[in-house]
Structure 1
Amino acid sequence: MTRATPRPRADIAIIGGGLAGGLIALALRRADPSLAVLLIEAEETLGGNHRWSWFESDLPEGGEALLAPFRKTQWPVGYAVLFPQHTRTLDSVYSSLSSVDFDAALRRELAQSTIHTGRRVATLDAGGATLEGGERYDARCVIDARGFVPSDAFEGGWQVFMGRHLRTQAPHELDRPIVMDARVKQHDAFRFLYTLPLAADELFVEDTYYQDTPELDRTALSARIDRYCAAVGWQGDPLAFETGVLPVVTGGDLARYQREVRVDGVAMAGARAMIAHPLTSYTLPFAVETALLVAENRDLPGEQMAALLEAHARRVWKRTGFYRMLGKMLFGAAEPARRYRIFQRFYRLPQPLIERFYAGRSTPGDKIRILAGKPPVPVTRAVQALAGHRPPLSMNAQTIEEGSQGHG
């Protein structure tokens, strides 16, 4: 009688090779190269089609070292924000990472046996993952990092964007990022353009909307980017595009969501675990924090890792409640065309406060300062917004992408 060959068993299998999953795999590799780690991604490349950006002050301890292997664009001179009644330059060091460089670095840094792309998972359980073709990967610990699951357990609005990477016909002479240019027609949303000077003749220009619905009209947004570039004198050829639809969470029931998406014994990370900034949909500092936490606890059995990350998600949810409240006022208290006034006022505040806001680490004093003074929205509408409810964050036949842009 011939015995069946036993399947190889990994220490940790990570399902989803986006930002969260990729950083966890890298953190594990750096912590213990002897660990057998699997990074299983449905697409052919890691990281999707994204660009992640962050302030130097966003990163937790150990974060800079974790991100060191990636080729990044960095602007030590800081960045600018442009509003109808306010313009400001801040000197926070700003960095950006493309998914192309994310994929390249992970393939260079991780063991050859770790990365499995073009593998779509059919089912997960505490002991491993089964692919759509029936192939099975066994593991002591399974981490699901496949992205946010649209759910009516949450309420809020949407951040919709289109980005274009272009090569300009002449040097553009922009020396720093423009994180927000809200001097544009608002189109029934809080709209701004986000621009990164990637080289002397290369720009990344993104058109972003905080809107009430998840609709993304590619034709309309592309035409608006054309008009914006023409207005500021940038002419050139497109090199690449990206689009995204991200949830802006203003409230909800995290425990209910966890019950709905939980697979017993399987840990969740990234946007799937709701570990993100609820107002900006910003994931990078949270993904770094989670990756370091997993690496520190890499020897835990799967069930304990699942409990650890679920408790971590609850802590993040608790500490980001203030931003959900601000989101509720942004969507509920301000007319869409005037939502920009909230950020226009915000960018008059001290730079350290702004940095802590984006990192999700606002102090009690910061929160008082943000809310103090003459409000940019009618007080009665703000009270009504806080007492009311936003539409549920559920979608039909639409893909939610794990956070792309760093700010906005």
Structure 2
Amino acid sequence: MGGRETDVAIVGGGLAGGLIALALHRAQPDLRFQLIEAGETLGGHHRWSWFDSDLGHEGRALLSPFTYVAWDQGYEVAFPQYRRPMRAGYRSLASADFDAALREILPERTLSLGQRVCELYANGVTLQSGERINARTVIDCRSVLPSQHLLGGWQIFAGRHFKYDRPHGITQPMIMDASIDQHAPAGNRSAYRFMYVLPLAEDELFFEDTYYDEARALDEDLLSRRIDQYAADMGFADGVEIGREKGILPVITGGNFKAYRASIEIPGVAMAGARGGFSHPLTSYTMPIAVENALAIASHAHLSGPLLAHFVRGRANEHWRKTAIYRALGRMLFKATEPERRVNIFQRFYQLPEELIERFYACHTTLPDQVRILSGKPPVSIPRAIRALASKGKPLLMEKTE
């Protein structure tokens, strides 16, 4: 059999693939693996954030090689009716730092960057160049695919990173300022919208304009102007832009997960990351999920490709089952109230106990948490909530957009 030989081929060098490679290297230094990425860098152009309480000892140890920004004095949220300080520590990792750390830690021979894969098999992959890499196990960590089998809406965002010639004086992140105007970019249509502000250094601020909408449309120029205005209102109109990002993420409110996986699954190939269903359906937070998955896969790396695929599929099915509450809340967000009143749902949620909110973001919501979230005076009418919970939503067909 011609071509390169390896034990594990990981296709896709984003957060999921990169963390799996790191976990494999830490757990089994002698294991041969290849991390194959179509781009020239690992991680793309993203920023991942998480609460310190999202991770246990093993998870923190896995992330210890990365340089990330940490705020141990809590964060804030703001809504039309109140502003609330929160105690939990918050963390944020830039993809450039993710890339730099992995290049330093992983042996150079394990990285195949700028290499597109044209076909995956249970026992290897074929690159677009025609080269074959033979592997005992193949893990597909490529980007999420459009699917008529998944239903929901979209989380749309654009972020800008500024540097100033003076200290800005902000010490805590504002992870959700929903006291701002709730209109989406398209005409007078409303959507749940908030601003996200991170003090990345004493003279650097990162602003992100985010909104939830049924329509998948990103007007980066308009969001950029709104960030300019928000920064100016805070007294920071004189910054020099040193980076930006944008994205459109699926907000999954329902669907047939078994049919989704069957439509894209390759026999004998493990499927991880967002493509494999490992994401938070409502918030799109991925770090704690990606860390847990990487550690689990590394601990089962001795399995053959088909057996590992079976193991990861079981984890994906369990993740889909336990995240039903978030999909239900997503249906309520999109279907149970007028767009301009969607802010009331999050405004009520952030009045709940802090520990419950942290478990919510980490996908660790307990049954008592669910009862607490759904009890009390609802922020939407009960008849509309019932209809929303029974609704199906729109297929998440992610056509290309600018």
Deviation of 1:259 after TM superposition, in Å, equals 0.5
Q: Does the C-alpha gap of structure 1 residues 254 and 27 become closer, same or farther in structure 2, counting only changes over 3 Å?
A: same
In the other structure, the counterpart of 2:145 is 149
SS in 2 for 1:62: helix
- Of 159-168 and 20-29, deviating more is 159-168
Contact 1:156 1:248 in 2 (8 A): yes
In the other structure, the counterpart of 1:305 is 308
Deviation of 1:135 after TM superposition, in Å, equals 1.3
In the other structure, the counterpart of 1:230 is 232
SS in 2 for 1:243: strand
In the other structure, the counterpart of 2:375 is 372
Q: Could you tell me how far apart the structure 1 residues matched to 2:328 and 2:194 are?
A: 22
Deviation of 1:61 after TM superposition, in Å, equals 4.8
SS in 2 for 1:156: strand
In the other structure, the counterpart of 2:31 is 35
1:2-52 Cα deviation digits (max 9, x unpaired): xxx943310100000000000000000000110011000000000000000
Is 1:55 matched with 2:34? no
Is 1:25 matched with 2:28? no
Q: Could you tell me how far apart the structure 2 residues matched to 1:398 and 1:31 are?
A: 40
Q: Could you tell me how far apart the structure 2 residues matched to 1:312 and 1:238 are?
A: 41
Contact 2:255 2:392 in 1 (8 A): no
Deviation of 1:397 after TM superposition, in Å, equals 2.4
In the other structure, the counterpart of 2:94 is 98
In the other structure, the counterpart of 1:210 is 212
Contact 2:2 2:132 in 1 (8 A): no
Structure 1 residue ranges without an equivalent (≥5): 400-408
TM normalised by structure 2 equals: 0.96
- Of 160-169 and 25-34, deviating more is 160-169
Q: Could you tell me how far apart the structure 2 residues matched to 1:101 and 1:334 are?
A: 41
In the other structure, the counterpart of 1:220 is 222
Q: Equivalent residues in 2 for 1:323-338 (5 A)?
A: 323-338=326-341
Q: Equivalent residues in 2 for 1:213-362 (5 A)?
A: 213-235=215-237, 236-362=239-365
Q: Could you tell me how far apart the structure 2 residues matched to 1:291 and 1:344 are?
A: 34
1:287-307 Cα deviation digits (max 9, x unpaired): 001100111001110011111
Contact 2:192 2:212 in 1 (8 A): yes
Q: How many aligned positions are there? A: 395
Q: Could you tell me how far apart the structure 1 residues matched to 2:57 and 2:307 are?
A: 24
Q: Does the C-alpha gap of structure 1 residues 363 and 21 become closer, same or farther in structure 2, counting only changes over 3 Å?
A: same
Q: Equivalent residues in 2 for 1:66-215 (5 A)?
A: 66-187=62-183, 188-215=190-217
SS in 2 for 1:113: helix
Q: Could you tell me how far apart the structure 2 residues matched to 1:180 and 1:248 are?
A: 17
Percentage of matched positions with identical amino acids: 53
Contact 2:49 2:285 in 1 (8 A): no
Deviation of 1:362 after TM superposition, in Å, equals 1.0
Q: Could you tell me how far apart the structure 2 residues matched to 1:118 and 1:375 are?
A: 50
| Paired amino acid for 2:174 | I
TM normalised by structure 1 equals: 0.95
Contact 1:60 1:288 in 2 (8 A): no
